[in-house]
A and B are shown apart, each in its own frame.
Chain A
């Protein structure tokens, strides 16, 4: 049963990482324009170099 002492912290840390990631995306307004963001990826304007 000692394996539990590794597995439980690991599952908590992974879940926590997901939660923190989600909080980060909400805080940085990444859900403001879901439709536009889905389509912007099709634009070839900044394919050669990143937007300055």
Chain B
């Protein structure tokens, strides 16, 4: 997804040696963005701006505290890594952001346009309301006519400008021969304006200019709230994507490394991947030896050995030694990208869902039209006066107009999303909350979702103090996750490392050292000489004085995993575990979390099939997963959640992103979603009650503009207050 956002240069590798056009667009200035998650006060702003401004090559630096990032204008050859290290030296956590992925947040045109329309509608409705109040309180004859004419002069241009979103959407619906919420809105606006103008020209008593403007204002407020909630979620999601700056180190003819964007890599390039780095392309290893972590792609926790000649896929993480690859597929051709594309084809759970607002509109829109048409025909036949009949039809349309309905959903979604955001959940999709409320079955992935992906030692007690001291000394010589976890665990017992000599790491195998003439080894079973099958992840220790011993690890649980599973089950939901990892590892975790239903060694298609089978059986499935092997299942489930550490493709496929490490907000989210849906239904009921009271008055011809204004404002305010109870 991130890669797809980058412009592809349309040059084939063969032709690139002789460029057709001279390079004339050398940029003289580069814009860089740095994410600074820990800044919080005025002193931070000054420190960062002064620090960045002092770097040679920086033209200007400006911090945005709301978004917690700094925008820097600099010379094009200034490496972003330098700016990041400057910020880190000042004591702030800093990450480079990919501006291409952020572009959409900067120019939020749609939001700004809505805000301007809302401002115009607010200004006009306040003025017209003032004039109307004097009419209601007894202005007569020429004064009333003058006030009506002034109101008309304000209302017409204001509604023409501010009501455009409704006109456009209603026109689109009518042209497609459908009815949506905007059709009755537009009809009410137009009819109100036309009859009011007619009445005014005949010195009539009732004009609905204020009602038409108040209607526009309240409905625009609902639209704006809706837009802002979605824009906030989109910008946070973009920030997550932008944090993964796609860069790679390419080797040129002389073996020199150069940092290039991943989009510039070509098939056949030699690429260096450092320990801890993610493979940018599919390829074959030409030099180096290391271990690969494939957990994001397959769910396997056990690292696999990688030697020259072995194939690697984009997305795998290099663990121990530097590797040199020859790219065999880049960009959209990589297996990672092809699998992500499959997700787009898979039928998405959200496309089958009709939102509450849509189903309400389906009932509501035809009802309103029929009611107002019946009122018109009835009064015309009764009085044979088109003016009276039209007036009453307009009053019916205005009073039934879905003002409160327009606010009912966005007000609740805004309040609920705000609450979930504070709990660490980012709601990306508009109807995700409604779908989450219906969930009765929760499917978890194992690696990276229920587990943190960091191993924990289980059998430290099997080793004597001497062995532990040796293990600590050896483990500190490596950055391998197992070695790091082992050294942390032994350090916690208070032991000091043994005084070993010649400590060296052999990438892909382990670490080796000597102690008083004995050869010591810590690493893979085959290399150290370990015997006996071990089901779990294990490393072996050879102290040179006996058989090698196994040090076993289990995957540490993510914080809150236990609470989340327990709370979900307490709420009456069925919890399943479907993983691509080995049976032993999955069974162990299921026992730890007391999950009865589990499936191990599931392929990505099997995961999606399981979810589809559950859906066919009538269950509403919530899928929680992070890996590429989960993406099809994430897209196919009724609603899906992925942690922020997930692959970009998985985050895109899911409706909700979990921002922190903690899993416990998931159960809370289900409860909040249930409450939000209840509030939405309550709001619909409130709006209906207002209509039931006011519509008979309107049809009986007793409705005045004052009653219309009171009913509309009262119902809108009640609905908004009801939504605010969720916060």
Are B112 and A33 closer than 8 Å at their CB atoms?
Answer: no
Question: A50 interface residue, CB < 8 Å from B?
Answer: no
Are A23 and B116 closer than 8 Å at their CB atoms?
Answer: yes
Whether A39 touches B42, Cβ cut-off 8 Å, given contacts A23-B119, A26-B112, is yes
Convert A7-22 into 0s and 1s, putting 1 for each residue whose CB lies closer than 8 angstroms to a CB of B. 0100110011011001
Question: B595 interface residue, CB < 8 Å from A?
Answer: no
State the CA gap A29–B154 with chains docked (Å): 28
Are A36 and B41 closer than 8 Å at their CB atoms?
Answer: no
Question: A49 interface residue, CB < 8 Å from B?
Answer: no
List, in ascending order, chain B residues with CB within 8 A of A8's CB: 131, 150
List, in ascending order, chain B residues with CB within 8 A of A34's CB: 66
Whether A1 touches B66, Cβ cut-off 8 Å, given contacts A12-B127, A26-B116, A39-B41, is no
Whether A43 touches B46, Cβ cut-off 8 Å, given contacts A1-B143, A23-B116, is yes
Determine the main DSSP class of B at the interface with A. Answer: helix
State the CA gap A43–B46 with chains docked (Å): 7
Partner of B123, one of A4, A19, A32, A43: A19
Question: A42 interface residue, CB < 8 Å from B?
Answer: yes
Quick one: which of B28-74 are within 8 Å of A by CB? 41-42, 45-46, 63-67
Are A33 and B127 closer than 8 Å at their CB atoms?
Answer: no
List, in ascending order, chain A residues with CB within 8 A of B64's CB: 32-33, 36
Quick one: which of A33-52 are within 8 Å of B by CB? 33-36, 39-40, 42-43, 45
State the CA gap A12–B158 with chains docked (Å): 13
Are B119 and A15 closer than 8 Å at their CB atoms?
Answer: no
Are A35 and B119 closer than 8 Å at their CB atoms?
Answer: no
Number of chain B interface residues as a range: 20 to 34
Are A43 and B116 closer than 8 Å at their CB atoms?
Answer: no
Instruction: Report 28 cross-chain contacts, Cβ distance below 8 Å, ordered by A residue.
Output: A1-B143, A4-B143, A8-B131, A8-B150, A11-B127, A12-B127, A12-B154, A15-B126, A18-B123, A19-B120, A19-B123, A22-B119, A23-B119, A26-B112, A32-B64, A33-B66, A33-B67, A35-B65, A36-B45, A36-B63, A36-B65, A36-B66, A39-B41, A39-B42, A39-B45, A40-B45, A43-B42, A43-B46
List, in ascending order, chain B residues with CB within 8 A of A19's CB: 119-120, 123
List, in ascending order, chain A residues with CB within 8 A of B116's CB: 23, 26
Residues of B participating in the A interface, judged by any CB pair closer than 8 Å: 41-42, 45-46, 63-67, 112, 115-116, 119-120, 123, 126-127, 130-131, 143, 146, 150, 154
List, in ascending order, chain B residues with CB within 8 A of A45's CB: 46
State the CA gap A24–B143 with chains docked (Å): 35
- Distance between A7 CB and nearest chain B CB, rounded to angstroms: 10
List, in ascending order, chain B residues with CB within 8 A of A22's CB: 119
State the CA gap A36–B41 with chains docked (Å): 8
Taking A8-B131, A26-B116, A39-B41 as known contacts, 16 extra A-B pairs with beta carbons closer than 8 A to each other, sorted by chain A number, are: A4-B143, A8-B150, A11-B127, A15-B126, A19-B120, A19-B123, A22-B119, A23-B116, A23-B119, A26-B112, A33-B64, A33-B65, A35-B65, A36-B64, A36-B65, A45-B46
| Residue among B66, B112, B146 with most chain A CB within 10 A | B66
List, in ascending order, chain A residues with CB within 8 A of B126's CB: 15
List, in ascending order, chain A residues with CB within 8 A of B67's CB: 33
List, in ascending order, chain A residues with CB within 8 A of B112's CB: 26
- Distance between B383 CB and nearest chain A CB, rounded to angstroms: 35
- Distance between B621 CB and nearest chain A CB, rounded to angstroms: 39
State the CA gap A48–B350 with chains docked (Å): 58
List, in ascending order, chain A residues with CB within 8 A of B130's CB: 11
Are B42 and A32 closer than 8 Å at their CB atoms?
Answer: no
State the CA gap A40–B63 with chains docked (Å): 10
Q: Which 7 A-B pairs have the closest CB atoms?
A: A36-B65, A39-B42, A42-B42, A19-B123, A33-B64, A35-B65, A35-B66
List, in ascending order, chain B residues with CB within 8 A of A42's CB: 42
- Distance between A44 CB and nearest chain B CB, rounded to angstroms: 9
Partner of B115, one of A15, A26, A36, A43: A26
- Distance between B139 CB and nearest chain A CB, rounded to angstroms: 10
State the CA gap A33–B105 with chains docked (Å): 13
Are B45 and A15 closer than 8 Å at their CB atoms?
Answer: no
Partner of A16, one of B46, B66, B123, B146: B123
Beta-carbon nearest neighbor of B46 in chain A: A43
- Distance between A36 CB and nearest chain B CB, rounded to angstroms: 3
State the CA gap A36–B63 with chains docked (Å): 8
List, in ascending order, chain A residues with CB within 8 A of B65's CB: 33, 35-36, 39
List, in ascending order, chain A residues with CB within 8 A of B127's CB: 11-12, 15
List, in ascending order, chain B residues with CB within 8 A of A35's CB: 65-66
Beta-carbon nearest neighbor of B112 in chain A: A26
List, in ascending order, chain B residues with CB within 8 A of A16's CB: 123
List, in ascending order, chain B residues with CB within 8 A of A43's CB: 42, 45-46
- Distance between B63 CB and nearest chain A CB, rounded to angstroms: 6
State the CA gap A13–B131 with chains docked (Å): 15
List, in ascending order, chain A residues with CB within 8 A of B66's CB: 32-36
Beta-carbon nearest neighbor of A1 in chain B: B143
List, in ascending order, chain A residues with CB within 8 A of B115's CB: 26
- Distance between B653 CB and nearest chain A CB, rounded to angstroms: 31
List, in ascending order, chain B residues with CB within 8 A of A40's CB: 42, 45
